[in-house]
Amino acid sequence: MGGGAETFYGVIRRQGITRRSFHKFCSLTATSLGLGPLAASEIANALETKPRVPVIWMHGLECTCCSESFIRSAHPLVKDVVLSMISLDYDALIMAAAGHQAEAIIEEIRAKYKGEYVLAIEGNAPLNEGGMFCIDGGKPFVEKLRAMAEDSMAIIAWGTCAAWGCVQAAKPNPTWATPIDKVITNKPIIKVPGCPPIAEVMTALVTFITTFGKLPELDRQGRPKMFYSQRIHDKCYRRPHFDAGQFVEGWDDESARKGYCLYKMGCKGPTTYNACSAVRWNGGVSFPIQSGHGCFGCSEDGFWDKGSFYDRLTTIRQFGIEANADQIGMAAAGAVGLAVAAHAAVTAAKRLTRNPGRVAQEK
């Protein structure tokens, strides 16, 4: 590892991959990135001439579902990414080296490719108790994160953990798990939310960065526009049922069998920005809604803290009891309605009892 100067194409050919397969890969990647036909040759050219980008992949407070997803990428295959496209110099999960040997690599890369490597972070850093809730190599992870971020070119925040905080940052968040962009503020950070992110989204993003040598265009939330600019809802194949007003109302009803819209079952598709309904999962086989289950909104900020996954309206906990906007609103409107009725009654009573005297007075 650490051979950052070699080109992708050299590595690919050395591994016995034919030029034909290489070009197939380039066109597939160009298509999955939504680029024009010319981009395929641009990608091929870039991979033939550019040195591989060194990548350090670190794991903070996380569950490794991002890596699990990543290794299942079909277009491009993850072996192509890890072995050919990037120079994945450090990843505690899949690297052969261990212990001091592994930790030595990270220091070596930091010194050798100062300001050139990409830091990919899976998970986040807990800040409570000086970061003692996540120890990596005998030190709090947050220290390692800060040190490595210092000399990086850019940071990829893999998954909802790194992007938003995810389950470990859900209330009451005892470890103060903090998303990467709240810890590192002076580096470009690409958020790739999702629990986990879609495999093809992850590998395509890596391909984009290595191909064009720059970061993709990001949206307001710091997510790559190419994958996160539309909601699940916008490209959902059940959308016609939504517009028609055809909803599943129980998991075993006729509408569920007919594959109607899961809006009433609490599907978060209308508020979730991700590529699931376009790219789908497991090599394009399916995605949650296609399997008959609503979207969780797993790529959205604080999705654990919005009440049940199966409720349309968000649970609001500020009132001590679990309620949603409708219940709170109806209670408030009802109370005011009662107050109005009572007030009207008192007004009427007062008027009835006072009027004779007043009339007499006026006469």
Residues forming the site for other proteins (CB under 8 A): 164, 219-221, 225, 229-231, 234, 240-249, 255, 260, 263-264, 268, 270-271, 297, 300-303, 306, 312-314, 316, 324-326, 328-330, 332-333, 336-337, 340, 343-344, 346-347, 350-351
Q: Closer CB to other proteins, residue 119 or residue 163?
A: 163
- In the complex, what is the shortest distance from the CB of residue 37 to other proteins, in angstroms, rounded to a whole number? 23
Annotated binding-site residues for [3Fe-4S] cluster read 276, 295, 298
- In the complex, what is the shortest distance from the CB of residue 340 to other proteins, in angstroms, rounded to a whole number? 4
Q: Closer CB to other proteins, residue 77 or residue 313?
A: 313
- In the complex, what is the shortest distance from the CB of residue 255 to other proteins, in angstroms, rounded to a whole number? 5
Token pair belonging to 362:
């006026």
Q: Closer CB to other proteins, residue 107 or residue 326?
A: 326
Q: Closer CB to other proteins, residue 52 or residue 238?
A: 238
Annotated binding-site residues read 63, 66, 161, 195, 233, 236, 261, 267, 276, 295, 298
Q: Closer CB to other proteins, residue 59 or residue 241?
A: 241
- In the complex, what is the shortest distance from the CB of residue 218 to other proteins, in angstroms, rounded to a whole number? 11
- In the complex, what is the shortest distance from the CB of residue 135 to other proteins, in angstroms, rounded to a whole number? 30
